[in-house]
Copies of this chain bind each other. A is one copy, B any other.
Amino acid sequence: MSAPPGFRIDARAGRARAGVLRTAHGDVRTPAFVPLATAGAVKSLQASEVEALGFDMVLGNTFHLFLRPGHESVARMGGLHEFMGWRRPIITDSGGFQVFSMGHGTVAEELKGNRSGPRSDGRVLAIEEEGVRFRSYLDGEERFMGPETSLEVQAALGSDLALAFDECTPFHVSRDYTASSTERTHRWLDRCVDWHSGNAPEGQLLYGIVQGGVHDDLRERSAQRVAEAGVGGVAIGGSLGREKAQMRAVLDVTTRSLPEELPRHGLGIGDPDDLLAGVELGIDTFDCATPTRLARHGTALVPDPARRWRLDVTRASENERRDPLVPGCPCPACERHTRGYLHYLARAKELTAVRLLVMHNLTFMRKLMEGLREAVTGNRLDRYGEALARGVAPY
């Protein structure tokens, strides 16, 4: 590694940026989408396949890996890269999203739709200044996670980008609750920066998380506070509103309040139009469960903005269709298989259906992000946005 970990902006188009995030495990070309390797594997794929799909980085879930197999266990296995056989950069989330999803109940549905997870069994016992006590959804044991715990777990995992511990406030709580929660998140951030400066693995970048709900002034204050904390990057978390216009307004005011030089990560943003908007507003990396979660439920991403880019392959009209999902798509599902076959496999709940749809959806995301990167570099993001809206991009 010649250059130390950090971020370099190579091109701009309005507020959008294209660049390179340098990490101890290699470069991430931005803007980039980061597939979820929630529990140490991208659903149904092996690490070599995620590489072959063209992704530079995956996201590992601190909360899930903390509970199983445990961060000490992953450390004894050589760290998360070695454990899962992934040789490229890894970002780990803070654990806050999953911990607080158990407490707030609806935050997960609100932000990311219905995801399988800890909500049914685990629960939050207490949210205190020190951190959060909760019951594990695996064994019912009482566990604790605070800022130092989260960073300690992420250090043991050995991720390239670590996220500071935050409370992820949902939409339905009051402005007062959001305000005081955001302030506590800032105090937690200071503790994270402290712990990280003394204990982080070499080369690990720490991202602070901007909260503040849908309130402009809280978002502005949070963005400034995070930027002043001495972090290597900024993530934008929490409720981004009930609909897309509000989400864009929140991202707009947040990114306006951030310094140019820090890399920015948008948590839980994955719809094609949201990715376009996020890139336009100067966000560099994104993660979202949508592409893999849709695949598990029989839905493919297709260039069809009128249907929110979603195609339910189990619908009756897909039966016996002999054309591919997307003509010209280079994924294994489209290269060799028909919509009719995918329809049949998904209805029969064959594992092969999940796998083919995961490969397809991630290929769609890879092509979309390639298109966005090239559009920023070529200063033609408007035209790319039009192509996306007409269903021409990303193919």
Contact = CB atoms under 8 A, between A and B. Distances in A.
A282 interface: no
B352 A354 contact: no
A94 interface: no
Contact of A351 (B48, B344, B354): B354
Contacts of A350: 39-41, 43
Interface string A316-339: 000110100000000011001110
Nearest to A340: B77
Nearest to A77: B340
Contacts of A85: 336-337, 341
A355 interface: yes
A46 B341 contact: no
A241 to B, nearest CB: 33
**In this complex, which of A320, A337, A341, A345 has the most chain B Cβ atoms within 10 angstroms of its Cβ?**
A341
A88 to B, nearest CB: 13
A332 B347 CA distance: 28
A46 B337 contact: yes
Nearest to A350: B41
B43 A322 contact: no
B77 A44 contact: no
A122 to B, nearest CB: 15
A76 B338 CA distance: 13
Given A46-B336, A83-B341, A336-B46, A348 B68 contact: yes
Q: For the complex formed by this chain, how many copies does it contain in all? A: 2
A322 B48 CA distance: 18
B77 A320 contact: yes
Given A39-B350, A69-B344, A322 B77 contact: yes
A145 to B, nearest CB: 19
A356 B46 contact: yes
A343 B385 CA distance: 45
A354 B45 CA distance: 10
Contact of A44 (B44, B84, B340): B44
A78 interface: yes
A320 B45 contact: no
A345 B73 contact: no
A155 to B, nearest CB: 19
B48 A352 contact: no
Contacts of A332: 46, 48
A47 interface: yes
Given A44-B44, A44-B355, A341 B84 contact: yes
Contacts of A47: 336-337
B44 A352 contact: yes
**In this complex, which of A68, A319, A340 has the most chain B Cβ atoms within 10 angstroms of its Cβ?**
A340
Interface string A33-74: 000000111111111100000000000000000001100010
Interface in A3-39: 39
Given A40-B344, A350-B39, A355-B351, A338 B77 contact: yes
Interface string A344-376: 110110111011100000000000000000000
Contacts of A78: 322
A83 B347 CA distance: 15
Contacts of A352: 41-46
11 contacts: A39-B348, A41-B350, A43-B352, A44-B44, A44-B351, A44-B355, A45-B355, A69-B319, A77-B322, A77-B340, A355-B355
